[in-house]
Structure formats: C-alpha cells, structure tokens
Amino acid sequence: MIKGDNAFVPTAALRVAVRNGVDVAALLVTEQGRVRGDADIVFDGAPAHPSGAVRLFAGEDGTVCLETGLTSVEEEITRVLVVASTEEGALRDVRGLSVEVFGPDGATVVGYEVTDAGGETAMVLAELYRRSGGWKFRAVGQGYVDGLTGLAVDHGVDVDEDPQEVLERIPTPAPPATPPAPAEAQAPPAAPAEAPAQGLRLTRDQILDMTPEQIRALALAQKQARAEAADQAPLTASSPPAPKPDPSAWTCGPVFKPRTVTGRDNDVITVKDLPHGPVMVELTLKGDGYTGLWPLDEANAKGRYLVSTTEKDFRGRVITSVPEHGRLRLRLEASGSWQVRILPLAEARRLSKDRLESWGPDVLLHTGGTADVTFHYKGDSNFIGHLYRLAGHTDPTTLPKPGGSVVSEIGARRETLPLPEGPLLVYLSAADGPWDARLKDVQPHSSGQDADGPAKLPDPRGALGWLRRARR
C-alpha cells in the first residue's frame, strides 16, 4: 500500500503495529476531525481509552502496538488516527518506519511503509475510519515540521494551558488506609530512578505535573519492567502476537474494492479475481417487466434466485457467495439499463436511532446492545428478514447460520420487533417496495460501551503530558 491508498478492514479486534523505535499515540476524533478532550488521546502516559476501544502497549524490537476493538468505538468517533513522533532527530532518520494491521487470527490485513518522510518530527501515519457501516484503513503519511504541537492544534487539542513544574520528584498516589503488610510481603525499596515501575498507576493530573526528565524516567522504568515480564514469558514469534479470540471479534465476509458492471437487458455477468466468501450484489434497474437474478455454478446451472420481481425500476441488495476460484457469475434477466455492484458486506447500511430509508431487499448491520427495531414497509408483497449473529465469527469465507426470521409479512405494515445484542446482520431478502427502519430503546452493549452515546469523559485539560516532549 502506498500513501493515499485505502482498503476495508474487518470490524473486529485488530492490532496495529508501528515500527521502528518511534513514540506512538492514537487520537480518536469526531466527524469534525477534533478530539473531544484529552481522554481521546491514547499515549504512553494514558495507555487506554476510557471506552476500552484502544489500548497502547510496547512490543518487541522497537515496535509499539495499538489494540483496537472497532466494535467498542463510540458512535461519535469517526476516525482513529495513528500518530508517530520523535524525541530527537527527524522522521527521515527512522529506518523502517511502517504500520501493519493484524487481524484476530494474527494474519496481516494491510500494511504501509513510509518512504518519503522528511524533516518532520511528528506524523499522522494512518487512520482507521468509518465507511458504509464498516471500517477502512488509509495510509496518510501527513507530517508536521512543528512537531506534536502543530499536529495537536490541527486536531483540537488544548495546548494553551501550562502545567506546574515545581515538584522535585515524581508525585506518587497516597497509600490506601489499610494495615501494613507483613515484612516478608512488603515490596523492596524503590530504585534510585525517580520513576514508578510498571505496576504503579499515576493519575492524569500527576502525569501533567511531571517534568520532561521525570516522564523519561517513568517511561524507562516501565520499559524495563515490561522487558523483565517479557523475559519470563517470551513470545514465540517475532511478529506481534494475535489478539486472543473473544466474542467482540467478528468479521462478515472478505474485504475488497467494490466492482461495478453496467449493461442493458438480459446478460451473463462475470466478475473475476474476487476473494472467496459472502458478498453483496447491488442491482439498480431502469425499466419494467420481469427482473430475475441467479448465481451460476461451474456447470452454468442456475442456483436459487436472488431477485425475482415485476417491480418497475427495481433496486436492492442481496447476498451471494464467491466460489474459491474467485470468479462470480450471475445470470440476469431484465428489460432496460442496469448497474450491478459487487460490495463487501462491510458496506452494509448501519441501523441506528436515525431513520434509515431504502427500497427493496437490503443488508443492515447492528452493533449495539439489545434494542427494538421499527420497520415501516410500504410495499404490497413479501417483506422477509433473517438474522445472522456475528459475535465470535471470524471466518471471512462464510456467514454463520441464520438465527431465524426477524420479520415475515405480506403487504404494507408497521411493526416493532426485538433485536438481540450485536454485532449482527439483518438480511431483508424480500422487500419489493419502499421501507424505513429505526432503532429505539437501545441498551448499553455488554462490553460496557453505550452504542448510542459517548462515555462520560473527564473534564478536558489538554494532553499536556503528551506534548511535553514537543516543548523541551
């Protein structure tokens, strides 16, 4: 991947590895491209976002990793920026500066090597951003010669407040009011380095009151503690370990660049070099009469129909599967001009409290907690929908078995139905007419993230601890 390229990534637990020997941070920004406060900056002094969606930790050989649970990213956050900076020298002096994204199975999803860094001391290397109900990765490579301060100002970080720098030593939290431990269980005396070890957690205000020298001492002590822990449990591979499988990890089909084919009247459509697995087929027709769409097997025999309708100007999205050889063939019977797009399921439309209006069959994505969904169908034929529960499903070549019908009615109607906790797909396989859908009574996700509102953030003071190295 080169600078400016983008690609879909699975909506799952991903590991973003940044090499080589640079300071790494993540900025979680809104649609306006700005953080909401210093809690939206994940760096070595505050290595976990309050939502739990992004965590930072050190890997091996100068690698720093960001563990990103995309299903836990708050609705208000639209982009996660991956930032690199240097304390000394410029980024052009960093050999092997790169970003690599690993999936839940440890396989590489996408990667970007920075080859054109100059005199910048800070750079937005890459970003994960929302697109069409899923997530994409973009190779950004935007540098800042004025360092973290310029980058921070561009993204709404408060850099005006000046912290106190009067303390001679690193502040330490007050000990809890509990009886002292027995002598043999007490921790050994603190080392001369004026920094707490890995296990000591400082408050954000204490970090902001530290001097640059104290921050460096803290980072060194934590690095040494992590190295000692790594020696006790060494990794078995040189690349970052794969995230442990958990129910929040999920995929729904392969990711790829959408393909478009246009034509007129009856035709056989062939799309080559697609990844194996379930995909969406979006058909838009200008014409009337009968419209039918079927997948073709290797013997050119029709499979079960995907579309069978007499509606004028039909449009809709259906699901089919690409064979292992990567060649999808479809038989279309139609009168009029048409467009067919082959899309990843990651582009499924997302259900929310806002009204979603559409026409015809469609594929919808729900990632929040339990909720009720209200459908208003204005057609006069079948309206049928099935559920596919995606939690824990990490095989992109298949879909889980459908979990039953969410709706099966005939004719115009308005109906409210219960939805289980996401992530899940709602596949409206039959809907010859207009409809709208919206969620209500959405409950917090069991992961602890409220899908319909951001977590309450601390009073923003600006991430001055993060900016210290830019002010030395």
Is the torsion defined by CA of 54, 56, 57, 60 positive or negative? Answer: positive
- Distance from CA of residue 24 to its chain's centroid? 18
Confidence band of 256 (pLDDT split at 50, 70, 90): confident
Give the C-alpha separation, 275 to 244, whole Å. Answer: 25
180 has a pLDDT exceeding 60: no
Look up the pTM and report it.
Answer: 0.53
Higher pLDDT, 264 or 246: 264
**Least confident segment among 105-114, 127-136, 142-151, 463-472:** 463-472
Token digits for 220?
A: 């060194």
Confidence band of 227 (pLDDT split at 50, 70, 90): low
246 has a pLDDT exceeding 70: no
167 has a pLDDT exceeding 70: no
Of the CA atoms within 13 Å of residue 141, those in its CB half-sphere come to 18
- Using alpha carbons only, what angle is made at residue 314 by residues 313 and 318, rounded to the nearest 5 degrees? 160
Q: What is the DSSP letter of 48?
A: B
Give the C-alpha separation, 145 to 91, whole Å. Answer: 10
461 has a pLDDT exceeding 80: no
344 has a pLDDT exceeding 60: yes
Provide the residue count of the chain. 472
Give the C-alpha separation, 86 to 63, whole Å. Answer: 14
Give the C-alpha separation, 77 to 422, whole Å. Answer: 18
Confidence band of 242 (pLDDT split at 50, 70, 90): very low
Q: Which residue has the tokens 């809104």?
A: 30
Quick one: which of 289, 258, 271, 255 has its CA closest to 330? 271
Give the DSSP H/E element, type plus range, for residue 225: helix 212-232
Quick one: which of 199, 147, 141, 148 has its CA closest to 172? 199
Question: Given its phi and psi angles, is residue 183 left (phi above 0), alpha (psi -120 to 50 degrees) or beta?
Answer: alpha
> What is the percentage of the chain residues whose pLDDT exceeds 70?
75
Confidence band of 229 (pLDDT split at 50, 70, 90): low
Contact criterion met (CB below 8 Å) for 344 and 11: no
| Beta pairing partners, 58 | 64
Average per-residue pLDDT for the chain: 80
Q: Which residue has the tokens 């003071």?
A: 461
Confidence band of 460 (pLDDT split at 50, 70, 90): very low
Higher pLDDT, 462 or 321: 321
Token digits for 353?
A: 């409290």
Contact criterion met (CB below 8 Å) for 220 and 195: yes
* Residue 9, C-beta contacts closer than 8 angstroms, at least 6 positions apart: 70, 101, 103, 109, 110, 128, 134, 135, 136, 137, 255
| Beta pairing partners, 317 | 282
* Residue 455, C-beta contacts closer than 8 angstroms, at least 6 positions apart: 50, 51, 74, 449
pLDDT of residue 223: 58
Q: Reduced to 3 states, what is the DSSP secondary structure of residue 128?
A: strand
Is the torsion defined by CA of 181, 185, 189, 194 positive or negative? Answer: negative
Q: Which residue has the tokens 């999920």?
A: 250
- Distance from CA of residue 116 to its chain's centroid? 27
Contact criterion met (CB below 8 Å) for 328 and 320: yes
270 has a pLDDT exceeding 60: yes
Confidence band of 254 (pLDDT split at 50, 70, 90): confident
pLDDT of residue 281: 97
The average pLDDT across 9-16 equals 90
Give the C-alpha separation, 194 to 213, whole Å. Answer: 9
